[in-house]
Structure 1
Amino acid sequence: MSLKWTDVLEIAIQLAESKPEIDPISVNFVDLRKWVMELPEFDDKPEHCGEKVLEAIQAHWIEERD
């Protein structure tokens, strides 16, 4: 399975599992984008990511944590 930017829920789940020490509320988008691209299953072009995608990932990550 490869992850694309549109897989915001699965990305959020993987971030929650791989970075349990991180509070997603305080994450800046530069770090968030970098961490998503570092996920082992991530396979998409960096230019396909925008602020709305990062906001959606962050929102799902917050929900996963809670």
Structure 2
Amino acid sequence: MSPTGRGKHDIKVSMDIGLYKLIKKIAGVSDTSMNALINRAVEQFVENDEMRAIIDRHRLEEDEDE
């Protein structure tokens, strides 16, 4: 991962071409970038009840040297 700005990192994600095309179209009609759309989706994912339970159980949000 390389830093892209203050407090941010780039990641590379490989996905099915059909999903990529769908996300690109959704971003286009939503007047947003694919980056913003994917970031929002990941944020929603980590906030769902199942992921919150895992985060809390393993104390994943506690400060540590990253």
Structure-2-length-normalised TM-score: 0.28
Structure 1 or 2: larger helix share? 1
TM-score by length of 1: 0.28
**Which one has more relative contact order, counting CA pairs under 8 Å at least 6 apart?**
1
- Relative to its length, the structure with more strand (as a share) is 2
